[in-house]
Amino acid sequence: MDRLRNRPQGRPPAAPSPQRLNRLAVAAMIALAAAVCALALRPPWVRETPPSAGTVVEDLMQRRVPLDVPVQRVMFDQPMVWHYMTVDETDAHVATLYPYLWKEARNELLSRLFPDFARRTPLVIRAETNQLSIEQVMIEAPDAVITSDWFGQLLETAGYPYTVQLDTFRSDARDEPDKTALFRLLGAMTGKPERAEALLQRYRHAIVQAGAGIPPDAEPVGVLVIGNEYLSFVGGRYESLGALLRAAGGRNLAENVRSFFGAANVEEIYRLDPQAILLLASPYNSLTPQTLYENPALRALDAVRQRRVYRMPSGASRMAGPVEAPLLVSWLARLLHPEGQWETSLCEDIAGTYREAYGYTFTARDFDTMLHPHDNAGAAGFERILDGEPACAGARS
């Protein structure tokens, strides 16, 4: 009401006449009819050079898709461009991205791994929202579109046959911490199945090593993962995250919440009473441990009083998939189980992973980018996992 009272006073604008409204309505109907007719009369989309015989890829909906391999121009409307580039070992085949994916894909680590990607600009999907249009696919004519199953069906109906479809409720690999099915698909599309399998094999070894230092009799630590400034917590539908928490000797206290994000409810957070709180690191929020420390409503929470609130690492691929998921487990296991003993340090794990997967030498600047030492300064146990480790030089507050 105060906002209404503060609104500047003046003569209200005259309402449009009924005749003008009728004319506008008729014009809108004519425009809509013309657009529908244009789509209906358009001939089916035909690729100028059909794929070679025998190049068939099976997508995650078990559909057989004819493609020239390696695919030269790929349009993405799903958040996995970093995984594609990891398998492909180049950014040259990324043709089109959503604006939000372009922003995220240019994060510091990914741009250092693929410096040419940071310098060139793939076509950004021309849309005011994150909604890909059939028209743009037809205009750009990519060699393949990695998309959801529902939009892929729309493209097929419009006559575009080169959709690589993902089951949006499963094939985002929420039930596969290593994203096996996805990486095998990307290996087929890039013509590098051997590299995809090598990355998956490396994951199987690294994930065991990441949790090897946890004492065998250690009890799982109750963890709550908070995803935004509204204190929404990550529910059990992110099954792959739950699996990684278990590998690190933790347990998602919100695992029975079947939505992606639980309700932002301070009372519920107190009821769950986490022993540690993890904050998702994302370019779309500014959430830090200090945000929770300074929140009066949370000061009595045990995890806050014990300063066991941590901003999670930021990787080149959302700390997901066969390359970075073991690093997330290695980081978390050392924080949740300070009594554990590991043969290698966290920073040695990180440096070795990037050297083997990308041929990249990790620097002090990269450690700062990934581990957020400034934001995690003073968090219980954080300095301990860095202190005395030459590989981590510079990654300190």
Quote the pLDDT of residue 283: 76
Q: Is the pLDDT of residue 82 over 70?
A: yes
Q: Is the pLDDT of residue 38 over 60?
A: no
Of residues 268 and 222, the one with the higher pLDDT is 222
Q: Distance (Å, rounded) from C-alpha 136 to C-alpha 158?
A: 12
Of residues 362 and 386, the one with the higher pLDDT is 362
Pick from 69-83, 187-201, 259-273 the range whose average pLDDT is largest: 187-201
Q: pLDDT band at residue 231, thresholds of 50, 70 and 90?
A: confident
Quote the pLDDT of residue 48: 52
Q: pLDDT band at residue 234, thresholds of 50, 70 and 90?
A: confident
Amino acid at 349: D
> Beta-carbon neighbour count of residue 165 at 10 Å?
24
Q: pLDDT band at residue 397, thresholds of 50, 70 and 90?
A: very low
Q: Distance (Å, rounded) from C-alpha 67 to C-alpha 93?
A: 14
Torsion sign over Cα 376, 217, 340, 355: negative
Q: Is the pLDDT of residue 42 over 70?
A: no
Q: Is the pLDDT of residue 16 over 60?
A: no
Quote the pLDDT of residue 54: 53
Q: Is the pLDDT of residue 218 over 50?
A: yes
Q: Distance (Å, rounded) from C-alpha 163 to C-alpha 149?
A: 9
Share above pLDDT 70 across residues of the chain, in percent, rounded to a whole number = 76
Quote the pLDDT of residue 389: 60
Of the CA atoms within 13 Å of residue 177, those in its CB half-sphere come to 20
Q: Any bridge partners for residue 25, and if so which?
A: none
Helix, strand, coil content of the chain in percent (nearest 5)? 45, 10, 45
Q: What pTM was estimated for this model as a whole?
A: 0.83
Q: What is the mean pLDDT of residues 261-289?
A: 86
Q: Is the pLDDT of residue 19 over 60?
A: no
Helix-helix angle 193-210:321-336, to 10 degrees: 10
Q: pLDDT band at residue 361, thresholds of 50, 70 and 90?
A: very high
What rounded mean pLDDT belongs to the chain? 82
User: Domains plus CATH for the chain?
Assistant: 56-191 (3.40.50.1980), 215-392 (3.40.50.1980)
Amino acid at 91: D
Which DSSP helix (H) or strand (E) runs through 206?
helix 193-210
Quote the pLDDT of residue 123: 66
Q: Is the pLDDT of residue 12 over 60?
A: no
* Residue-wise pLDDT tens digits, 235-253: 877 778 889 999 999 999 9
Which DSSP helix (H) or strand (E) runs through 290?
helix 289-293
Of residues 364 and 6, the one with the higher pLDDT is 364
Q: pLDDT band at residue 36, thresholds of 50, 70 and 90?
A: very low
* Residue-wise pLDDT tens digits, 116-170: 887 766 666 654 455 678 888 888 899 999 998 889 999 999 999 999 998 765 5
